[in-house]
Amino acid sequence: MAKIGNDDYSLSRVPRDKRYGFGSMLMQWLAQSGSLSQFVLGATIGLGMTFKDAFLAFTLGAVILELVIFAVGLAGQREGLSMTMLTRFAGFGRNGSALVSLVIAVSLIGWFGVQNGIFGNSMSALVGGQPWVWCTIAGAGLTLLVMYGFKIMMWVARIAVPLFFGLVAWSVGSELFNHSFTELINSPPSGELISIPAAATIIAGGYMTGAIVAPDMTRFNRKGWHVAAQSSCSMILSEYIVGMTGVMLGHIVGTSDVTNIVLSTSGFAGLIIVILATAKINDWNLYGGSLGVVNFSQVVFGKKLHRGVVTVAIGAAGTVLSAIGFLDHFKDFLSILGVAIPPIGGIIVAEYWIVRRQRPALDETRADGVVPGVVPTWIPMSLLIWAAAFAVGMFVDVGIPALNSLLAALILYVVLGKLGLVRSVGTTILERPTAATPEEVRS
């Protein structure tokens, strides 16, 4: 098979000498904070809450997300493995990881298409033209970007982050300076009241899938403390600065539609910057989806696909489906998958940090930079725990559904694991228990 783009160590550990420094990785994290949707989220919450209550809600949501990101992301950093590869050796076994990969790939590729469709419709409304044309342009551009992997995505982040937040400081700042800061933070909500738990549900639940797939990014980190520091900076920027600014904008205009404040004062240049920042959010959907497909194919079909080739295939599929509006009918289904993904993180955390039945194999091979040569074939109890936790998230109405399902999986796995009921069935010798290939090192 022809190989285009970079494989990005899709089935191996990221070598220590191929990881990035603090500043480069920080830009990747901050890029996840730069989107207009976070302003809209803040404005939506601001309509139903006082500034003080909104601050508490964002704090609760940020703490929840940060704990999840650090617990899962640190495991990815230590092992240099993507999230789907990590599940092979932390809770699910070889075949179970294929099912995990399928769920994650479908979810991320689906949301890539949905976001691409939203972008196409927005561009059509702002500058004219048919939405499908804009969908095609954006989808093709993102596919090309992600095809070449993490290094190119990192350079785009270095450009997008300062431009986006420079634009925001100019556009939003001029609007806020026309109002009294004291009056804004003391103004009452103008819409239907939202409780702090309900607001935290929206905040934490909306990004929980992103928190779970954090190892796809953190495997490129050099040090563990970088994960905590960088993700904390991202949370501070996303929740406290962007989110709380959105709260104040919501108080000013009395609606959640605050994107016009940014666009109306920045002209075409601002539009281009917003496009670039939006792309930095959606590229990770396509990137994570490609890693999931590679792992699924290798396990189920025994075929090692090149990640760059996979990116082209799924990027084209997502682009076409978004252009014809097909994926709009599957938003409810994708939301259901959003409840199915958090338990995966709960099981990873429980196995890797607490139960540790599979950890010795990772510990023994970490220094050599290879993946373990033998992996459990099935771990049936993990799949049952996953199903039970998913049911908790779907049918328990109290609390945050995504967090409920994650905690249910973590608790069940710890209890059953300590009782010796989480057992593997069979073992599989991996085809290539070696370090990264020369081609991967060059990429």
Q: Give, for all 443 residues of the chain, the pLDDT tens digit.
A: 456 889 999 999 999 999 999 999 999 999 888 777 788 888 889 899 999 999 999 999 899 999 999 999 999 999 999 999 999 999 999 999 999 999 999 999 988 988 888 888 878 877 889 999 999 999 999 999 999 999 999 988 888 888 888 877 877 777 778 888 788 888 888 888 998 888 888 888 778 888 999 999 999 999 999 999 999 999 999 998 889 988 888 888 887 777 666 666 556 666 776 677 677 788 999 999 999 999 999 999 989 999 999 999 999 999 998 898 887 777 778 778 888 999 999 999 999 999 999 999 999 999 999 999 999 999 999 999 999 999 999 999 887 888 899 999 999 999 999 999 999 999 998 865 444 444 444 44
Q: For 16-339, give the CATH class.
A: mainly alpha
Tell me, rounded to whole angstroms, the distance of Cα 74 from its chain centroid.
Answer: 15
Distance (Å, whole) CA 375 – CA 86: 11
Residue among 373, 348, 253, 292 at smallest CA distance from 100? 292
Q: Residue 260 has what pLDDT?
A: 67
Distance (Å, whole) CA 124 – CA 113: 16
DSSP string, 139-198: HHHHHHHHHT-HHHHHHHHHHHHHHHHHHHHHHHHHHHTTS-HHHHHHPPP-SS---HHH
pTM of the model: 0.90
Q: Residue 255 has what pLDDT?
A: 76
- Phi and psi, residue 255, nearest 5°: -150, 160
Distance (Å, whole) CA 82 – CA 89: 11
Residue among 303, 278, 333, 346 at smallest CA distance from 110? 333
Distance (Å, whole) CA 109 – CA 211: 17
Secondary structure, 3-state, 218-255: HCCECCHHHHHHHHHHHHHHHHHHHHHHHHHHHHHHCC
**In whole angstroms, how far apart are CA 119 and each of 146, 267, 301?**
18, 17, 35
260 contacts: CB under 8 Å, gap ≥ 6: none
Distance (Å, whole) CA 226 – CA 243: 24
Q: Residue 443 has what pLDDT?
A: 43
Distance (Å, whole) CA 205 – CA 194: 16
User: How many other C-beta atoms can be found within 10 angstroms of the C-beta atom of residue 78?
Assistant: 19
Distance (Å, whole) CA 411 – CA 396: 16
Tell me the Ramachandran region of residue 309: left when phi exceeds 0, alpha when psi lies from -120 to 50, beta otherwise.
alpha
Q: Residue 440 has what pLDDT?
A: 44
Q: Residue 435 has what pLDDT?
A: 45
Distance (Å, whole) CA 137 – CA 179: 39
Residue 238 in tokens: 């996303």
* Cross-strand partners of 374: 429
Direct distance between the N- and C-terminal alpha carbons of the chain, in angstroms, rounded to an integer? 17
**Dihedral of CA 108/342/218/432: which sign?**
negative
Residue 199 in tokens: 């607001």
Distance (Å, whole) CA 279 – CA 36: 12
Tokens 């691409």 locate to 116
Residue among 338, 215, 210, 228 at smallest CA distance from 283? 210
